[in-house]
Structure 1
Amino acid sequence: MTDKGILIIGGGTWGCSVALELARRGFGKVKVLDASPFPSPIAAGNDLNKIAEESNEPRDDDVNDDYFWNKINQMAMHAWKHDSLFKPFYHPTGFIMAACGDDAYEHCLKYAKGEHAKLSPLQTAEEFRSTMPKGVLTGSFPGWRGFWKDGGAGWVFARGALKAMHAEAVELGVEFVCGPSQGKVESLLCSAANDAVLGARTADGQKHLADRTILAAGANSDLLLDFRKQLRPTAWTLAHLPLSAAEAEVYQKLPVLYGVDRGFFIEPDQEKHEIKLVDEHPGYLHMVPIDGRLRSVPFAREQIPKEAEARMRRFLRETMPQFEDREFSFARICWDADTVDRKFLIDVHPELANLVVAVGGSGNGFMTSPAIGVLVADTLQGKMDARLKRMLRWRPESAEDRDWWDTQDRFGAEGRLMDFQNVQDWTEIGATGY
Structure 2
Amino acid sequence: MGSKDHVAVIGAGVFGAWCAHHLNSAGHKVTLVDAHGPAHARASSGGESRLTRAGYGKDAIYTRMAHDSLAQWKALSAVSGLPIFHPHGVVFFGATEEDYFRDAVRVHAELGLPIERLDGRQLARKFPMIDFTGVAVGLYEPGFGALMARRSVQTLVDRFVRAGGSYVHGAARTPEPANGRLDHITLASGEKIAADRFVFALGPWLPKLFPALLGKRIVATRQEVFFFAPPAGDPRFLPAAMPGWADFNQGDIYYGFPDLESRGVKFAHDAHGAVVDPDTQDRRPSKEALADVIAFRDRRFPLLRGAPLTEARVCQYENSSNGDFLIDFHPEMSNALLVGGGSGHGFKHGPEVGRHAAGRLLGTLPAEPRFSLATKSETHNREVH
* Alignment-derived partner of residue 432 in structure 1: none
Scaled by the length of structure 2, the TM-score of the pair is 0.84
Native 8 Å contact 1:234 1:284 kept in 2: yes
Mapping 1:20-169, distance limit 5 Å: 20-28=21-29, 30-54=30-54, 66-81=59-74, 84-85=78-79, 89-100=84-95, 105=98, 107-112=100-105, 114-116=107-109, 117-123=114-120, 127-132=122-127, 136-137=129-130, 139=131, 141-169=132-160
Secondary structure of the 2:213 match is: coil
State the Cα distance separating 1:244 from its structure 2 match: 6.8
Aligned to 1:13: 14
Distance 1:308 1:131 in 2: 30
Could you state the TM-score of these two structures normalised by the residue count of structure 1? Answer: 0.76
Whole-angstrom CA distance in 2 between matches of 1:204 and 1:255: 46
Q: Which residue of 2 aligns with 1:310?
A: 291
Shift of 1:299: 4.0
Aligned residue in 1 for 2:189: 204
What is the aligned partner in structure 2 of residue 278 from structure 1? 268
Distance 1:318 1:199, change over 3 A: farther
Amino acid aligned to 2:42: I
Within-5 A mapping of 1:205-224: 205-224=190-209
- 8 Å contact kept, 1:54–1:77: no
Q: Give SS of 1:309's match.
A: helix
Unaligned runs of 5+ in 2: none
Alpha-carbon distance in 2 for matches of 1:168, 1:274: 29
Conserved 8 A contact 1:262-1:315 = no
Runs (5+) with no aligned partner, structure 1? 57-62, 287-295, 411-434
> Which residue of structure 1 aligns with residue 379 of structure 2?
403
Structure 1 counterpart of 2:225, from 238, 255, 261:
238
Q: 2:348 aligns with which of 367, 376, 382?
A: 367
Q: Quick check: 1:98–1:105 contact (8 Å CA) kept in 2?
A: no
Q: CA deviation at 1:10?
A: 0.9
Relative distance call for 1:207 and 1:68 in structure 2 (3 A) is same
Q: Is the 8 A contact 1:230 1:395 kept in 2?
A: no
The match for 1:258 is 246
Classify 1:80/1:297 alpha carbon distance in 2 versus 1 (closer, same or farther; 3 Å): closer
Contact 2:247 2:254 in 1 (8 A): yes
Q: CA deviation at 1:50?
A: 1.3
What are the residue-to-residue correspondences of 1:411-422 with 2, within 5 Å?
Answer: none
What pairs up with 1:162-177 in 2 under 5 angstroms? 162-177=153-168
- From the superposition, tell whether residues 391 and 154 of structure 1 become closer, same or farther in structure 2 (CA, over 3 Å): same
Give the corresponding residue for 2:371.
392
Q: Is the 8 A contact 1:345 1:358 kept in 2?
A: yes
> Residues 185 and 175 of structure 1: is their aligned pair in 2 closer, same or farther, counting only changes over 3 Å?
same
One-letter amino acid matched to 1:165: L
Question: Counterpart of 1:342?
Answer: 323
Separation (CA, whole Å) in 1 of partners of 2:173 and 2:309: 36
- Quote the offset at 1:150 in angstroms: 4.9
Which SS does the other structure have where 1:354 is aligned? strand
CA distance in 1, matches of 2:164, 2:84: 24
Question: In the aligned structure 1, how far is the partner of 2:162 from the partner of 2:101?
Answer: 43
Q: Give how far 1:409 is off.
A: 5.9
CA distance in 2, matches of 1:303, 1:378: 40
**Can you list the C-alpha shifts for 1:218-258, whole angstroms capped at 9, x where unaligned?**
01100111335432223322122234773468523221121
Q: How many residues are treated as equivalent by the alignment?
A: 372
Q: Deviations over 1:299-351 (max 9, x none)?
A: 45432332221221022111223333333222222223222332211122232
Give the C-alpha shift of residue 121 in structure 1: 2.7
Identity %: 20
CA shift digits 1:114-140 (9 cap, x unpaired) = 44334233335xx443223x5x33x4x
The 3 A distance-change label for structure 1 pair 303 and 99 is farther
SS of the residue corresponding to residue 16 of structure 2 reads helix
Corresponding letter in the other structure for 2:93 = A
